[in-house]
Chain A
Amino acid sequence: MGDFVKDHHVPVIQVQLNLRFAPGDGLSEMAAHQKEFQLFSPKHSLKSSFALINVAPPDSKDRRGFFRYLDRLKDVGSNVEGQNGHDAVIAALKDNLESKNPMPVYFTYHVATRGNIKVEVSTSTPVVFSPVKHVTISLPTLRKD
């Protein structure tokens, strides 16, 4: 991630995303955007959807870097059969927000290994002190060393 966004800004994006998709007002708003604007759709890039909900680092250089990172997810795989990382994130968000009872979404990161860089989509209870089930989307990073 450091190649795209300064390391210390990565948690900022993670917090922004997790607040946007948090149980309650955040999730209701995202479901409404999906219903009204089809915010997450194969017709739109993840970059443009995240820009519309203003998820990006505050610094403009990092902002461009984050959007490049999102585009690069097209070049990596996912644990969803037949989908690249970029499309797997869109499909997971679209399906969840359009479902009868959307779940909150938790975004996290994992360290991938070269040759096996994947987006991982799952359902889990990622907040250790909470029983609330989330759609969990883990984005790949590479360690610099």
Chain B
Amino acid sequence: MGEIHSKVRAYYSAAVERWGPTPQGVDWQSAAAQYLRFVQLLKICSFDTAFSLNDFGCGCGALLDYLALRHDSATIAYRGIDLSFAMIEAATKRWAKRRDTTFVVGSTCNGVADYSLASGVFNVRLGEPIDEWEAYVESILADLRVSSRIGFAVNFKLPLDNGPMEDNLYRTRQERWMTLCRKRLGCEVETLVGYGLREFTLLASVQT
């Protein structure tokens, strides 16, 4: 697992060095596409009361831009976690003035919050064999489960209509990960599809 972490860290550190704190810097096509993903992921959260949030694979903290735009009045204690030192450095500078906001370097959440989100962290496989990448995905989902009091949300790319999966990417169908979250992690699961992107979002509520 350590080797995967090193590769992922190097990949995203290079991206942020090249593009700066932008959607391209975290390997998204555009800000609009990134925001569309946040819309889906945040459906796990109830905005009626204050809550705490782990943002795993936070990059430069783009989720905070989106929250400021759409949920300005919500009280959210935010904790961003990323493997990349470069990302965390950029994020810490950028959000230094936001209250209840911390950024940490890590390969796990390493702290419990009401909700945990992870956007796009499973997509770039960097040529890793599928079984090893899926073991990595499982380990992250298990960590998100133990780090979330109420629920967590993640997204995955769906397969292409024709043609094999790209060596660099990971694409999958819902069933495998819904089953894992239900049976192994004991969650109530819902998936969202058809929101304009070739992917699905998995919302997992922690059973109490």
Contacts and interface: CB of A to CB of B under 8 A. Distances in A.
Q: Which residue among B24, B31, B196 has the maximum number of chain A CB atoms within 10 Å of its CB?
A: B196
A70 interface: no
Contacts, number: 41
A29 B35 contact: no
B75 to A, nearest CB: 24
Interface in A1-37: 25, 28-33, 35-37
B31 A54 contact: yes
A31 B33 CA distance: 12
A52 B33 CA distance: 9
Contacts of A53: 30, 32-33
Given A52-B31, A53-B32, A54-B30, A33 B23 contact: no
The prevalent SS among residues of A at the interface is: helix
Given A54-B23, A54-B24, A29 B39 contact: no
B207 interface: no
Contacts of A32: 36, 195-197
Contacts of B98: none
Nearest to B196: A32
A3 B121 CA distance: 41
B36 A36 contact: yes
A33 B31 contact: no
B39 A36 contact: yes
Interface residues of B, number: 14
Interface in B80-131: none
Given A37-B32, A53-B32, A29 B24 contact: no
B125 to A, nearest CB: 20
A39 B208 CA distance: 40
Interface in A43-71: 51-54
Contacts of B32: 33, 37, 39, 52-54
B77 to A, nearest CB: 26
B198 interface: yes
Contacts of A35: 196
Contacts of B23: 54
A29 B196 contact: yes
Interface string B32-44: 1101100100000
21 contacts: A25-B198, A28-B196, A28-B197, A29-B36, A29-B197, A30-B196, A32-B36, A33-B33, A33-B36, A35-B196, A36-B35, A36-B39, A36-B195, A36-B196, A51-B31, A52-B30, A53-B33, A54-B23, A54-B24, A54-B30, A54-B31
Interface of B: 23-24, 29-33, 35-36, 39, 195-198
Given A33-B33, A35-B196, A54-B31, 14 more contacts: A25-B197, A25-B198, A28-B197, A29-B197, A32-B36, A32-B196, A33-B32, A36-B39, A37-B32, A39-B32, A51-B31, A52-B31, A54-B23, A54-B29
